[in-house]
Amino acid sequence: MKSKLPTDRTAAATAALALLAALLFPMSAPVAAAPAASNPPTAEEAARFLEQAEAELLRLWIARERASWVQSTYITEDTEILVAQANEATIAATMRLARAATRFDGLDLAAEPARKLQLLKTALTLPAPSDDAARAELTQIAAELEGMYGRGKFCPPAGGDCLDLGQLSEILATSRDPAQLEMAWRGWHDTARPMREKYLRFVELANAGARELGFADLGALWRSKYDMPADDFVTELDRLWSQVRPLYEQLHCYVRARLAKAYGADAVPAGQPIPAHLLGNMWAQQWGNVYDLVAPADVVDPGFVLTERLQAKGYDEREMVRSGERFFTSLGLAPLPETFWTRSQFTKPRDRDVVCHASAWSVDWEEDLRIKMCIQINEEDFNTIHHELGHNFYQRAHNTRSPLFRDGANDGFHEALGDTIALSVTPKYLVRTGLIDAEPPAAADIALLLRQALDKVAFLPFGLTIDKWRWGVFSGAIPPERYNQAWWDLKRQYQGVAPPGARSESDFDPGAKYHVPGNVPYMRYFLAHILQYQFHRALAATAGETGPLHRASIYGSTAAGARLEQMMLMGSSRPWPDALEALTGEREMDASTILDYFAPLSAWLSVQNEGQACGW
């Protein structure tokens, strides 16, 4: 029986939460004045409105970040309520200000205020209805969905300890027992079932908020953030995917044949989608963990496994992060603030539930930079750290701008930046940092490129799938009675993967991926996987790299760092083609760089796949 008396830790936590709530939600907070509607709008009035709006929003953004940090690193019902209240306050103010900003539609304004007004109208990823009760309900559901994900555990029916996502993911990555793999896959995906009914209501309320801002649905709002009409954005995505699809299909064909040898043709039939639980990742989004099963026998091995080298060199969680920071400082960028090291979460606490999904934070929208991870000493997390620190360094650069410009040129830029740095984690870099003794010979390039393609190229169709599904859900093209079937239809269409067994509409497999219950738009990651190679090519040229693109590293190049910083400092103050041009000299996203980067692997795969029944 639970004691009715709080423990010391519970009492302290309750007091701290009460104080936090008082700080975050004062009884009388200043609000931006709504523009007067009696007289025609003027440029001066728009300037005053924007100044007040930015001040109000910045205060609310900081409050929301503080509440979100507590909720993500200490999941309780109380912290879920706090973050729901912070989100509600932010959404209410942003909705009010976005509606007020329409007063200035059609007014002849300078480029900067005109862009701020447009950014204000599309600022929210979760708009809410103006009705107080509906808004409170939506923000509470959003907090509950994220909390459900963070608390998710699978308890084996045969008994034993319950397993969280990290433990289940480790099974997917390392086990070669199909039954155990299916158990881990089903165990995690089944934790999402209780989200289904909440998500139905979430969609209804979020769509109502989007319509109040003049958008057909939430998906239409999201697609309007890319400096082009929403329909043109869909066309652009299809163009980029068409450039890289042939390379993905070659990779899929090769991997399926190798997995069939490992698990048998009955388990992995020719000409059919690959069973998702056999690809080494909970969502089949990256396949690097099955490299040992698909590694070519007739090419030179690189002679090292980075995970083993990190562990042999005695890297701990902090040294993993320090190594990432050293890369950025080698480019001439200032080191991270000391508070980063005292306030970040590097390891999973033993005494509470947390969201382990890696993320980067700028809590005060200035210098309070942090990352939140449950770091493991392996190659995947080594690269993830470079990715998250890319966010931090980008955040610090654009935080010198006025509040509405404190963001990336588009959300794909923010995701691409850290991955661009990770592309420079080549053998050349590993030699310079002492992790390996010598670069492998050129003959080992196929193995190195295959390892990378299993993560980077394999990800591309997955990057499309999540938002293709959500856009259909938000528009009503995918009705609730087809949520799960449509999810697997899209995964089959784009990825060529299938579940390990029958799934039904009692399942809610989209909810097993953080970004769905967390309401994080996902197309940014697809764009990032295109942009990072385009960025890498331009920065490698700036650094004076003249060899193969896949062997280039910009580590230590202050010239490349200066070019990178020039783009970062722009924030979102200019349309993304301007930022792309500042970094690359080009104004159009171009996936052909990926084909150039992986050209040796593509030619090799074509030979390996001769006689195979490719496609699905």
**Catalytic residues, which ones?**
357-358, 387-388, 391, 415, 515, 525
Helix (H/G/I), strand (E/B), else coil: 163 = strand
Tell me, what amino acid is at 287? W
**Are 206 and 128 a contacting pair, CB within 8 Å?**
yes
Helix (H/G/I), strand (E/B), else coil: 350 = coil
d(C-alpha 451, C-alpha 593), whole Å: 18
d(C-alpha 391, C-alpha 361), whole Å: 8
Helices (H) and strands (E) in the chain, counts: 24, 6
> Which pair of tokens denotes residue 52?
């007040």
Q: Closest by alpha carbon to 534, among 591, 488, 603, 486?
A: 591
Element (H, E) at 185: helix 178-190
d(C-alpha 182, C-alpha 172), whole Å: 9
What residue has token string 């010598």? 438
Distances (CA, A) of 193 to 72, 441, 498, 510, 511: 21, 49, 18, 10, 8
Distances (CA, A) of 519 to 60, 139, 203, 310, 473: 19, 11, 10, 34, 13
d(C-alpha 124, C-alpha 519), whole Å: 11
Exposure class string for 69-82: b at 16+ Cβ within 10 A, else e: bbbbbbbbebbbbb
Element (H, E) at 211: helix 195-212
Distances (CA, A) of 323 to 198, 201, 310, 381: 41, 44, 11, 12
Name the CA radius of gyration of the chain, rounded: 24
Helix (H/G/I), strand (E/B), else coil: 496 = coil
d(C-alpha 507, C-alpha 483), whole Å: 9
DSSP notation for 51-88: HHHHHHHHHHHHHHHHHHHHHHHS--HHHHHHHHHHHH
d(C-alpha 390, C-alpha 398), whole Å: 12
**What length does the chain have?**
616
**Are 197 and 496 a contacting pair, CB within 8 Å?**
no
C-alpha torsion angle, residues 112, 117, 118, 124 (rounded to 10) = 130
Q: Where are the beta strands (DSSP E) in 240-326?
A: 274-275
